[in-house]
């Protein structure tokens, strides 16, 4: 990430997201919705109709928030409907770039070198964090949305006329339960690992650490009783948790000091993670080189020598026992 103030790039993005030593993630700024008919969504303005070839997704393979959107794009088989660019895994002083690197791409839509230039195209006086994912409208030449939780819901339902993948990951009858799980997982796990890693006081770190591992224990106990987080139905809540689980042992355990236990030490979470990894197309969305290279080389305050650990060994294709649930 990087920070812009009135359209000018700044390099103190992390300090801008700290309050009394605790990491506090700022809300996303662009909150428009793509809808089947172009009517306004729950926030923002209208005139963003779902159309094949009109929208472009900017992501990082390292970023768990981006990874949510890449998974839903894959599961809903929207690769030919929504194009995609992937940034370089290293995030330097000017933020994400489109420099050449295996698994990264050029910016084929706007021809820019830095992601912050995309934000400036959309809003020349933009103030806020420059983050991925970014959903871009090629027709209006602007950012539709940069909030991953909303982008995955657009992918889930807005493009039904252009895909044969009919699974609904946010079904109406389960929405209250999904929202409740999402709130717990986001606060204590998805964002919890960052609150550990980016804390600047011992008190803030330990508070986030305790909430993180208390919640992992609760989730492990839940998954001892049922296959997925919301009864027996695979929903967006599972994919939102998965993107953190799959990064936990390679990165968060050591780099963010989340070292009370690994995911492999939680038998139900570990089997659940393998179950999701082995789901149709999901393994193709994961690039561990990008994940490790980003975290261990981009956070100089945490890992100033930029040494990338070789481990751990992970066999995500190993058998799991989740099929026993009905």
Cβ(154)–Cβ(169) under 8 Å? no
Give the 3-state secondary structure of residue 64: helix
d(CA 118, CA 214): 39
User: CB atoms < 10 A from the CB of 228, how many?
Assistant: 20
If 0-12 CB within 10 Å is exposed, 13-18 middle and 19+ buried, where does residue 288 land? middle
β-pairing verdict for 83-86 and 55-59: parallel
- Six token digits for residue 86: 């992937």
Query: What backbone torsions phi and psi does residue 88 show, to the nearest 5 degrees?
Result: -60, 145
Residues recognised as catalytic: 63, 194
CA neighbor of 246 nearest in space, from 208, 274, 284, 216 = 274
Q: How far apart are CA 185 and CA 148, in angstroms?
A: 15
Cβ neighbours of 124 (radius 10 Å): 9
CB 84 within 8 A of CB 57: yes
Q: Which are the contacts of 113, defined by CB distance < 8 A and separation ≥ 6?
A: 97, 98, 99, 107
Which residues are registered as beta bridge partners of 135?
57, 145
């Amino acid at each position: 990430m990087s920070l812009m103030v009135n359209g000018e790039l700044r390099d103190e993005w992390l300090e801008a997201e700290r309050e009394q030593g605790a990491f506090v993630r700022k809300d996303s700024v662009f909150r428009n919705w793509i809808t089947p008919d172009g009517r306004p969504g729950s926030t923002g303005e209208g005139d963003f109709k779902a159309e094949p070839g009109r929208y472009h997704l900017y992501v990082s393979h390292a970023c768990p928030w981006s990874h949510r959107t890449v998974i839903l794009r894959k599961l809903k088989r929207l690769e030919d409907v929504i194009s995609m660019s992937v940034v370089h895994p290293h995030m330097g002083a000017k933020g994400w770039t489109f420099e050449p690197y295996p698994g990264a791409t050029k910016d084929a839509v706007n021809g820019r070198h830095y992601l912050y230039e995309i934000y400036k195209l959309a809003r020349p006086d933009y103030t806020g964090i420059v983050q991925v994912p970014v959903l871009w409208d090629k027709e209006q030449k602007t950012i539709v949305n940069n909030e991953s939780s909303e982008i995955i819901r657009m992918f889930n339902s807005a493009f039904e006329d252009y895909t044969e993948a009919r699974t609904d990951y946010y079904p109406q009858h389960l929405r209250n339960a999904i929202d409740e799980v999402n709130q717990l997982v986001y606060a204590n796990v998805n964002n919890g690992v960052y609150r550990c890693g980016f804390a600047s006081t011992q008190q803030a770190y330990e508070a986030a650490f305790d909430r993180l591992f208390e919640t992992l224990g609760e989730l492990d106990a839940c998954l001892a009783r049922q296959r997925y987080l919301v009864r027996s139905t695979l929903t967006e809540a599972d994919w939102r948790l998965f993107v953190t689980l799959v990064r936990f042992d390679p990165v968060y355990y050591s780099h963010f000091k989340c070292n009370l236990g690994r995911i492999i030490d939680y038998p139900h979470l570990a089997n659940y993670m393998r179950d999701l990894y082995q789901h149709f197309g999901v393994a193709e969305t994961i690039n561990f080189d990008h994940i490790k290279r980003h975290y261990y080389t981009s956070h100089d305050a945490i890992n100033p020598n930029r040494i990338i650990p070789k481990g751990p060994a992970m066999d995500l294709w190993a058998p799991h026992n989740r099929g026993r649930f009905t």
